[in-house]
Structure 1
Amino acid sequence: MANYQRRMRELQQIEEDVRTVRILILGDPGVGKTSLTNLLANSEITPTRSSRTVADSEWTVQARLHEYPRVNLPLTPEWTSTSSSDRSFRSPQTPEELYFVEFYDKNDSVTYGRVDRNPLYKNIDGIILVYNMQDMRSHDHLHDWIYGPLRELSESHPMNRKRKRTCMMSLHNVPILVVGTMLDKLRKRSLRRTGNIAYQLRSEEIFINCQDQNSLCEMGRNYGKVRNFLNRAVEFRK
């Protein structure tokens, strides 16, 4: 408890200096967006959902801290004697930059559509698309869910404003992560890679059981993909 209170005081001290990255979570009702957000936003500093969540009629927002590595430093020598043969090398501590990550989960009561032009989309730094692997219709619906946000981002991005035609698949576009849920209930995955929205958007994809707290454990493959996605979101923000 004392350690938690100390971390909270440290968090309050740095809060004004920490910038914010906003991640949009989209998908059909019932695919597991809320459970996924609980996993993504969970951290040592904000261990319970009630301590990191705000909500209104349209959005539920959870927040956590993300440590973005500034640079990759080379190994530095550590001298143990005057003899060069006794020299060893150590990896220096990589300086990290703190960011608040806000996960915006659109409430299930809000419908989607290609005419969705929410002003929030212009300030989004990353998008997570969620579908149920047991119901591939929820995968097909992701094209409709993402159309409005991509259109807003493409039109507002400075690299695209200079062009005569807007390219929604531009390399300058927002980072995207695709998440397939209900992994524990899946018996057979029939979707071909070339028909996958992750393949079409050239984005990473993970498969997950949102009820398993170890699904995003450190050093795991899913954790690495999520961390890389958040790093790219920070770079997009910059």
Structure 2
Amino acid sequence: MADIEKVRVLVVGDSGVGKTALTNLICHGTVLNSPSWTIGCSVEVKIHEYLEGTASQRSFCIELFDIGGSHAHRNTRHVFYNLVHGIILVHDLSNRKSCLNLNRWLAEVTQSEAGTGKFGSRTTDQAWEDPDISGRDIGQVDIPMLVVGTKMDAAKEKRGLPTHQKRSDIAEEYGTEEIHLNTGDPSGLAPGTSAATKLARFFDKVIEKQYYMIKERKNSIPHATDRRGTKGGIILSPW
């Protein structure tokens, strides 16, 4: 695995929405019947085939950082938000508040990852106490995202909701794909299913942005000759 290039994807959402069970299902394809509460962060890895089935297929390591959702730890979570390449936003379909809180999670991750310096305890507290935080407060997000709604069976039992629910507001606002599933049913992410296809497409986007778009930008950087017109080029790099 040491020779395989890696990308880091954060899995965030309220405590109890099923992030650990989801991460386990993605990485191992099995059901985690009694997941423990995550304190801090738990890391799982998955080998993903980028552009599987094409001439460009290549193996990458996906590191899934399952971030503990406890409100008590909100001021220390930022230590896990460095070098983020993708975000999976998780909510419980039977708990509307967990869906509304996804804007807060997105703000917490993207502001910290961008290095804005806004993650002192006071700013973090204000973000979580603001009842009206929305996408317009966060601004443009330049990172691949996927929204996952879990506990589809519980939602149906609790509120009589249909199996196929409408997309969440945050998925609509940012134009991201969304998956609804039961983490207790491994068939939901079985190869060939709509959810598995969307997940693979998301991982491809993460890899493409991190490795291929960066290389394209570097290759497009102009070369300049010196003032004497010598052939030696000077690379003009923004880094």
Q: What TM-score, normalized by structure 1, do the two folds share?
A: 0.67
Structure 1 residues 179 and 57: alpha-carbon distance in aligned structure 2, compared to 1, 3 A threshold: closer
Match for residue 148 of structure 1 among 90, 97, 108: 108
Aligned to 1:31: 17
Aligned length: 182
Residue 178 of structure 1 is matched in structure 2 by 147
Q: Where in structure 2 are the equivalents of 1:55-70 lying within 5 Å?
A: 57-69=39-51
| Preserved contact between residue 6 and residue 62 of structure 2 (Cα < 8 Å) | yes
> In the superposition, relative to structure 1, how do residues 136 and 42 fare at CA in structure 2: closer, same or farther (>3 Å)?
same
* 1:154 and 1:168 in contact (8 A); partners too: no
Q: What is the Cα deviation at residue 108 of structure 1?
A: 4.0
> What residue number does 1:10 align with?
none
Maintained 8 Å contact 1:26/1:105: yes
Task: Work out the CA distance in 2 between the residues paired with 1:34 and 1:176.
Answer: 18
Q: Which amino acid aligns with 2:66?
A: D
| Residues 182 and 210 of structure 1: CA distance in aligned 2, closer, same or farther (over 3 Å) | same
Secondary structure of 2:187's partner? coil
Pair 1:98 & 2:59 matched:
yes
CA distance in 2, matches of 1:134, 1:109: 19
Q: How does 1:112-151 map to 2 (within 5 A)?
A: 118-151=78-111
2:135 aligns to what?
none
Gaps spanning 5+ residues in structure 2: where? 33-37, 117-137, 212-239
User: With structure 2 as the length reference, what TM-score do the two structures score?
Assistant: 0.66
Tell me if the contact between 1:153 and 1:174 (Cα under 8 Å) persists in the aligned partners: no
Distance 1:117 1:105, change over 3 A: closer
User: Quick one: distance in 2 between partners of 1:105 and 1:128?
Assistant: 10
One-letter amino acid of the structure 1 residue matched with residue 197 of structure 2: G
Q: Between the two proteins, what is the percent identity of the paired residues?
A: 28
Whichever residue aligns with residue 61 of structure 2, its letter is: F
* Counterpart Cα distance in 2 of 1:225 and 1:121: 24
User: Cα distance, 1:207 vs. partner?
Assistant: 0.4
Aligned amino acid, residue 207 of structure 1: H
Q: Is the 8 A contact 1:126 1:233 kept in 2?
A: yes
Shift in Å, 1:121: 2.1
Give the secondary structure class of the aligned counterpart of 1:16.
coil
How large is the Cα RMSD of the aligned pairs?
A: 3.1
Whether the 8 Å CA contact 1:177–1:229 is kept in 2: the answer is yes
How does 1:1-238 map onto structure 2 within 5 Å? 15-42=1-28, 57-69=39-51, 72=54, 94-109=55-70, 111=72, 118-155=78-115, 168-170=139-141, 173-185=142-154, 186=156, 187-188=160-161, 193=167, 196-238=169-211
Return the letter of the residue paired with 2:140: M
Counterparts of 2:88 and 2:175 in 1: how far apart (Å)?
13
What secondary structure, in the 3-state scheme, does the structure 2 residue paired with 1:99 have?
Answer: strand
How far is the alpha carbon of 1:126 from its aligned partner? 0.6
Q: Which amino acid aligns with 2:108?
A: G
